[in-house]
Structure 1
C-alpha cells in the first residue's frame, strides 16, 4: 500500500474533525463554558460517530472502485458538488447576532455519542472528504486495504481530537473565535471548495474519456 494512500486517509480523518462544522461548534461551546475535561468527554463520545461514518464511507469508496472506475468517477463528481455546496453556504454565512449564553451539558460524553451517531451530515461529509483525498490513489483501493485505512483514519481522529482538546480551554482561543466567528466559518468554506475542485478534477478525465487505461 502506497504512503500517498495512507497519508490521504490520515489527512482526510484529521480534516474531517478539524474543519469547523456542527460538532466543532458544539465542542467549542462546551469547552468555553465547562473546560477541557468536558470537551474531552464530548469528543470521546463523538469518536464513535466519526469511526462509524468514515468506515461506511471507506466501504462505499472501495466498493465503488471494485465495481468499476466509472462509478468511482461519478461518486467523486457528486461528492465534489456536495462539498462545493457546503463551501458556498459557508462563504455566504451571515452574522447570527450577539453571543448567546452557553448551556451547561451535564453529560458531555453522552451528548457527544448521540451527536456523533445521529449527525445526518456525518456520512456524506466523510464520503465527500475521503473521496476528495483518496481519488488520486484510486487504483490502489481494494477491500484488503480497508483494515489499514481504518487504522490510519482512527489515528487521524485521535490526533485531531487531541489538538481540539488542547486548544478549546484556552481563553485566547475562545475570545478569538467569538471575535472572528464569521471569518472562520468562511475560511472553512474555502477549504471545502478546495476539496470540491480536487474531487471534480480527478473525476472529470474518466467521465470525459480522457483518462489513460
Structure 2
C-alpha cells in the first residue's frame, strides 16, 4: 500500500510502541492529572509533533548520519537521558504543597511533551532503525510513501493518546481528593523518570 511493505504490521508496530510504558506515557498522564483532558490533548499534540520531527529527520537521512557517527548518537542518548532524569529529580524533591516542578500552564504541556519525545532515545531508535524496515523498495513512491506513513502514525497516536487521556481524566478526581496519594504518585513518577534516564543513558 503506497510503498509500505506491510501496512497491517506497520499499524500494529505503532500500537505496540505506544503501549510500551515510557517517558511519553508519563508526560501524557501527568499533564492530564494536572490540567484535565485539555492539557492531555495539548500533550498529545506535542507527542505527535515530536514523532513527526523524528520521522522526517529519518527521511532526510539522519539515520545514515547516526549510523556512521556513533558519537553523535551517543550524544543524543545522553542528552535525552539527562533531560528525563532532571525532570524526575524535580518531581522527587518537590516539597508537599509547593508548585509543580513541571509548569502547568497549558502552553507548556505541548512543549514539554515535544521535548520528551524528541530527546527520547527509544523514539529515536524506532524512527532511525525500525521505521525504514516498512519501506518497500520495489513499490516505493518517494514523498507519497513517507507522507502516508507520517499520517498513519499521527492518526493512530492521536486516537490512542486521547483515549488514554479520557480514561486518566475520569479517575483524576479521585486522586485529587487524596493529597497523600497524589504526592505518592508524583514521587513514583519521579522515580520512574530517573530510572528511565539512568537506563537509557547506560544502555
TM-score interval for Structure 1 and Structure 2 normalised by the shorter chain = 0.5 to 0.7
Q: Any unmatched runs of 5+ in structure 1?
A: 198-213
Q: Which moved more, 1:4-13 or 1:27-36?
A: 4-13
What is the 5 A alignment of 1:65-84?
71=65, 73-74=67-68, 78-79=72-73, 82-83=76-77
Q: Is the 8 A contact 1:54 1:127 kept in 2?
A: yes
Asked if residue 184 in structure 1 is aligned to residue 192 in structure 2, the reply is yes
Q: Provide the rounded CA distance (Å) in 2 between the counterparts of 1:90 and 1:112.
A: 15
Asked if residue 147 in structure 1 is aligned to residue 158 in structure 2, the reply is no
Q: Is the 8 A contact 1:46 1:112 kept in 2?
A: yes
Aligned residues: 180
Q: Provide the rounded CA distance (Å) in 1 between the counterparts of 2:93 and 2:74.
A: 28
Q: Provide the rounded CA distance (Å) in 1 between the counterparts of 2:84 and 2:119.
A: 19
Per the alignment, residue 10 of structure 2 pairs with 6
Per the alignment, residue 118 of structure 2 pairs with 122
CA RMSD of aligned residues (A): 4.6
The structural deviation recorded for 1:85 is: 5.6
Q: Provide the rounded CA distance (Å) in 1 between the counterparts of 2:80 and 2:160.
A: 21
Q: Is the 8 A contact 1:91 1:185 kept in 2?
A: yes
TM-score of the two chains, using structure 1 as the length reference: 0.55
Per the alignment, residue 32 of structure 1 pairs with 33
Q: Structure 1 residues 74 and 56 mapped into 2: Cα distance closer, same or farther (>3 Å)?
A: same
Q: Provide the rounded CA distance (Å) in 2 between the counterparts of 1:180 and 1:116.
A: 19
Helix, strand or coil: the match of 1:97? coil
The structural deviation recorded for 1:117 is: 9.9
Helix, strand or coil: the match of 1:35? helix
Q: Which moved more, 1:5-14 or 1:165-174?
A: 5-14
Helix, strand or coil: the match of 1:98? coil
The structural deviation recorded for 1:149 is: 1.6
